Amino acid sequence: MIAYPLKSTLLEKLPTDRINKFGYAIQNYLKYLALLTASEFFNSNIKDKGMVNLFRECLKEPSMGHYNHYCTSSN
């Protein structure tokens, strides 16, 4: 998930393609951290029902844009 884009980044000849593939690797890493954090949160005993509802309502498909909703949440 993270190693393959990083390896293909090193094998790229064009700088623009290297930057794009590096961006994919960073995005995959951030998604991995988000999933890890979410699984720890859901398995903890300090769950906040407002955050659980926010997960159910807003995170329907993987997109980097949906994570910004947590910063503007009033819960």
Q: Is the pLDDT of residue 65 over 60?
A: no
List pLDDT tens digits, range 41-59.
878 787 777 777 777 777 6
pTM for the structure as a whole: 0.57
User: What does the pLDDT read at residue 5?
Assistant: 79
**Backbone angles phi and psi of 43, in degrees to 5:** -95, 0
**Is residue 29 a contact partner of residue 9, using CB atoms and an 8 Å limit?**
no
**Is residue 30 a contact partner of residue 36, using CB atoms and an 8 Å limit?**
no
**Backbone angles phi and psi of 46, in degrees to 5:** -110, 35
Query: Per-domain residue ranges for the chain?
Result: 3-70
User: What does the pLDDT read at residue 50?
Assistant: 79
Distance CA(55)–CA(63), nearest Å, equals: 13
List pLDDT tens digits, range 3-37.
887 888 889 899 998 988 888 888 888 888 988 98
**Is residue 8 a contact partner of residue 21, using CB atoms and an 8 Å limit?**
yes
User: What does the pLDDT read at residue 62?
Assistant: 58
